Amino acid sequence: MAIRMKVYSQGKETLVAAADEDLLGKTFREGKFKIEVGKFYEGDRVTEEGLVDHLKLASIGNFVGRETVEAAKRGGFVSDEAILWIGGVPHAQYVMMME
């Protein structure tokens, strides 16, 4: 399995969007929740270490998939309580408030 990551920058904010590569192009639904794993996540293929290195510099993170969410968790960016399961797929986000 592989992680795909795309980095977006706007002013002082940096967003890292990452997803398990095998989820790209798929949509998941559960109740009122829906997540589309589309172009937003279609970036470079990275290792867990590469993802965590980028997250250290990011103010926002958006993660989809078991491998990606677990990597963000091991890096200290996501806790179990922050994971939302949509159609059997984990999704998590974080925001770092900067001055």
**Domain of residue 23, residue span:** 3-95
pLDDT in tens, 6-23: 999 998 899 999 999 999
Residue 89 pLDDT > 70:
yes
Residue 42 — pLDDT band, cuts 50, 70, 90? very high
Residue type, 19: A
pLDDT in tens, 55-88: 999 999 999 999 999 999 999 999 999 999 999 9
Number of domains in the chain: 1
Strands (E), 11-69: 13-20, 26-30, 33-37, 44-46, 60-64
Identify the sign of the CA torsion 56, 58, 62, 65.
negative
Tell me the two tokens of residue 23: 């989820």
What pLDDT shows up at residue 96?
84
What CATH number has the domain bearing residue 16? 3.30.1860.10
Residue 92 pLDDT > 90:
yes
